[in-house]
Amino acid sequence: MIAEPLRAAVLAAVRAIPAGRVSSYGGVAARAGLSGRARLVGRVLREAGADLPWHRVLHADGRLAMPPGSALAREQGRRLAREGVAVRGGRVARGYFIGGGDLDALLWRGDRR
């Protein structure tokens, strides 16, 4: 059983992912104040209701969260595509992740002197 404050924090973090963007399990955990608890996020999502935007949560490397070729993976891909997120080869590009995916641009703000 997952303690209600932890569950509520994870659900709030998932709901905060805007349409057209994604986050990793670890990113959700960090936003929920639970750094290092990516597996807890997975457990909460398995127990959550269908109204949660679960499709916006992916593996850290951009892979869809559901097993390749499964009905749930196809559904995740369809939901993401409806939001304008490109899924190619079962992966989403880093640019769709909250905070972007380009560490160099984040650190240097595009200024490469």
**For the chain, what are the domain ranges?**
4-96
Helix (H) or strand (E) holding 24: strand 23-24
Q: What is the pLDDT of residue 49?
A: 78
Q: What is the pLDDT of residue 106?
A: 43
Instruction: Give 29-57 pLDDT, tens digit per residue.
Output: 999 999 999 999 999 999 997 789 999 99
Tokens 């490397």 belong to which residue?
61
Q: What is the pLDDT of residue 1?
A: 81
Architecture of domain 4-96: Orthogonal Bundle (1.10)
Mean pLDDT by 10 residues, the chain (113 residues): 92 96 95 94 90 95 94 96 96 86 45 40
Burial of 24 (0-12, 13-18, 19+ CB in 10 A): buried
